[in-house]
Structure 1
Amino acid sequence: MFGCCVAGRLLQTNLQQVDESHAMFEVPHAESINHMCVFLLGTVPFPNGYGATVHFFWPGKGFQLLGMLSNDKPSAIFRLKGTFTSQTASEQAHPMFTAAAGFGVTTILWISIEPLSQISQQVSSLPSAVATRSAVAPDATVLAERIVKHLFNYISGFVTGGSVTEETTVPMGVIARWYGSFLAKAKAGGIGFLENQS
């Protein structure tokens, strides 16, 4: 039902069924993973009203929720680079992953089939939750309006002595700083911050 692919590696279809609603992949060399894609194979859809949460066992952190899959969102790419933590001595004996000198860490990608209502509650706590709440991208005009509103609000903070008028002059350096800040926010967490504007 599921497949996963770590960037730069062969496709994994060696899913291990744990029970009716849980399955897992063993993922070798977790310390070198940058991105991972998890997807439905297309052979068996989820039952109506169900989807799956995707978790990754992080050495030193336990299971961490990455995101979700559903019939409407049958694949997802997760960025894992920079989140690997070296294991402590007490974790070396943990049965969920193994480490041996020169062989790297083998860890677990955990998939849990659950009602979509429960999945929505879990996924809403993720930093990129705004992007996950809807599988449909915002309309181009709505997005453009939000970006312009963000620029206007930013520039308004630099206006002295009153409100912004048609004659207000804005130095290009202010717009350049806004642009750099805007791109950094978008790269770090998507465009969800545009929805939080007053």
Structure 2
Amino acid sequence: MFGCLVAGRLLQTNLQQIDDTHAIFELPNASSINHICVFLLGTIPFPDGYGATVHLHWPGKGFQLLGMLSNDKPSAIFRLRSSFSSSTTTRAFEASSTSMLSDSSSETAAVLGIAIEPLAQILPQIQSLPTQGSISINPTAVARPPLDPTLFAERIVRHLFNYISGFASSSDLGPDVTIPMGIIAKWYEVFLSKVKNSGTAFLERDAE
């Protein structure tokens, strides 16, 4: 349901379920983390009237509230370097934090916590945060419904086909044509570079 991306690292979907409403991501090498993006994968929406608060356990500083996610705001970016005080500022993970952190964290690891809560309880918590604590990824895109995974996969395949087509004439693209693995590997490098630099908007442009 959730994914997270630390700037400069690979996408994480290795969510660990704590109970029905709490889950965590482990974030190694906490000292090198500057920004983190948290988002809904688009496969399962929140129930009506619910969203999630996002928290971070920084080594030695307890769990602290970063912001929120909802069906209307399925993604957010948080800047971490200057956003932590010396004491815990959230109670969402107090009950399970002791047992959870004893196994999953260390002096160099942070823990990202996600707590599903009613929006009526979330909004007062968010209003108490500094306005610079959370940055929406793309205000115009937030209101869009989640992209159909089938459509998204189709756009990726179309991008691959168009890339390969540039290395062969139309007569070479029959059903039995052999594609060198080097071309596929090169496409993969180009594709990942575009995603890291500008997100997936280029796939939408290619589909127009």
Shared fold by TM > 0.5? yes
Matched with 1:73 is: 73
**Displacement after TM superposition at 1:39 (Å):** 0.2
Q: TM-score, normalised by structure 1?
A: 0.57
Q: Which residue of 2 aligns with 1:113?
A: 116
In 2: Cα distance, 1:130 partner to 1:66 partner: 6
Give CA-to-partner distance per residue, 1:132-164, whole Å, 9 cap, x none.
8xx979xxxxxxxxxxxxxxxxxxxxxxxxxxx
Gap change, CA 1:14 and 1:131, over 3 Å in 2: closer
- The aligned length equals 123
Greater Cα radius of gyration, structure 1 or 2: 1
Within the alignment, does 1:54 sit opposite 2:67 as a pair? no
Instruction: Report the alpha carbon displacement of residue 58 of structure 1 after superposing the two structures with TM.
Output: 1.6
Higher strand share: 1
Q: Report the TM-score when normalising by structure 2.
A: 0.54
Work out whether residues 5 and 12 of structure 1, in 8 Å CA contact, stay in contact via their aligned partners in 2: yes
3-state DSSP of counterpart to 1:13: coil
Could you tell me how far apart the structure 2 residues matched to 1:82 and 1:108 are? Answer: 17
Cα distance in 2 for partners of 1:4, 1:65 equals: 16
Gaps of 5+ in 1: 87-93, 100-104, 138-198
Q: Does 1:124 align with 2:164?
A: no
Amino acid at match of 1:65: L
Q: Is this contact kept in 2: 1:124–1:130, CA < 8 A?
A: no
Shift of 1:60: 2.3
Aligned-partner Cα distance in 2 for 1:130–1:4: 17
Percent identity for Structure 1 against Structure 2 = 66
**C-alpha distance 12-136 of structure 1, shift in aligned 2 (>3 A):** closer
1:35 aligns with 2:38: no
Q: Shift in Å at residue 97 of structure 1?
A: 2.1
| Alpha-carbon separation, structure 2, partners of 1:63 and 1:7 | 21
CA distance in 1, matches of 2:61, 2:50: 27
AA aligned opposite 1:33? I
Partner of 1:21: 21
Structure 2 match to 1:44: 44
Alpha-carbon offset, residue 81 of structure 1: 2.1
* Contact kept? 1:58, 1:85, Cα under 8 Å: no
Report deviation, 1:85.
8.6
- What is the Cα deviation at residue 118 of structure 1? 0.4
Q: Distance in 1 between matches of 2:55 and 2:125?
A: 11
Look up the SS of the partner of 1:45 in the other structure. Answer: coil
